[in-house]
Amino acid sequence: MPGLGWVLGFTIASEIGEIERFASPVKLIGYSGLCPRVFQSGATDRRGSLAKNGPRYLRWALIEAAHHAIRDPRYAPIREQVRTRHGAKRGTKIAAVTVARKLAESIWYMLSRDQPFAPAGADQLLTA
């Protein structure tokens, strides 16, 4: 998986624990604290900064892996889209959080289905 080495892999695995605890990838993303805070009242819906609930080392490991994975050509369109929208400095950080969410979703699918990483549209599974 792009951006994940053995140290980050073991950190993420130990912080997640049993993957059966999470019914969907959205639950894992919410547990990791990578979702924005939501302020709702009536017809008003505002999004804030990251919720930062859950284990901080899991969030750190996913963000760290995202900073390395963002250099991969498969994640380059996400980085460029966010950077053009938010600017080069702020956009890189927002893109890293977006890629970290995608990595958490991929991790959930890999662990719950016991399959190696396969990017969307790949003809065959990738192995190390």
The pLDDT tens digits for 103-119 are 999 999 999 988 888 76
Supply the pTM of this predicted model. Answer: 0.83
Looking at residue 124, its pLDDT comes to 56
Looking at residue 126, its pLDDT comes to 54
Residues linked to residue 36 through DSSP beta bridges, in sequence order:
50
Looking at residue 87, its pLDDT comes to 87
CA distance 110 to 63: 18
Model confidence at 125: pLDDT above 70: no
Q: pLDDT tens digits, residue range 56-88?
A: 999 999 999 999 999 888 888 888 898 889 888
Task: Tell me if 62 sits within 8 A of 100, measured CB to CB.
Answer: yes
CA distance 67 to 65: 5
Mean pLDDT of the chain: 87
Residue 104 is classified by DSSP as H
CA distance 12 to 96: 16
When pLDDT is cut at 50, 70 and 90, the band that residue 37 belongs to is confident
